[in-house]
Amino acid sequence: EADIYQTPRYLVIGTGKKITLECSQTMGHDKMYWYQQDPGMELHLIHYSYGVNSTEKGDLSSESTVSRIRTEHFPLTLESARPSHTSQYLCASSEYSATYEQYFGPGTRLTVT
């Protein structure tokens, strides 16, 4: 079973607030990913990291930013939340490249009012 954690699990916040979604893994994986998923819909990659101090944007344009200062930690930040940011955010990690299985956290369901 994968050891990847996300907090908070649920967040309801007002427009304009700054938020940080936390993601941590204890497996020592170099590769980490953030996906955005609307209910019942496919996953879209918004950020990924291949190691400390490495971050890249994914296919789906996002106003969020990420950082990777420690191997185990990959937080995602929204400087000013908007209703259009309402979605589920899933964090994942993998030991090798994207051609290998990714292990997912439980997700954060974000609602911006």
Partner 1 sequence: AQKVTQAQTEISVVEKEDVTLDCVYETRDTTYYLFWYKQPPSGELVFLIRRNSFDEQNEISGRYSWNFQKSTSSFNFTITASQVVDSAVYFCALASGSARQLTFGSGTQLTVLP
Summarize as ranges the residues that interact with partner 1 (CB under 8 A).
Answer: 33, 40-43, 45, 48, 56, 58-59, 88, 90, 92, 97-107, 109
Q: Toward partner 1, which CB reaches closer, 17 or 109?
A: 109
Question: In whole angstroms, how close is the CB of 12 to partner 1 at the nearest point?
Answer: 16
Nearer of residues 14 and 40 to partner 1, judged by Cβ: 40
The distance of closest approach from Cβ of residue 47 to partner 1 in the complex, given in angstroms and rounded to an integer, is 10
Sort strands 10-13 and 19-25 into parallel, antiparallel or unpaired: unpaired
Quote the radius of gyration of the chain (alpha carbons, Å): 13
Distance separating alpha carbons of residues 62 and 65, to the nearest angstrom: 8
Specify whether the CB–CB gap between 75 and 7 falls below 8 A: no
Nearest distance from C-beta of residue 78 to partner 1, angstroms:
19
Both ends of the chain: CA-CA distance in Å?
Answer: 35
| Residue number, 59 or 84, with CB nearest to partner 1 | 59
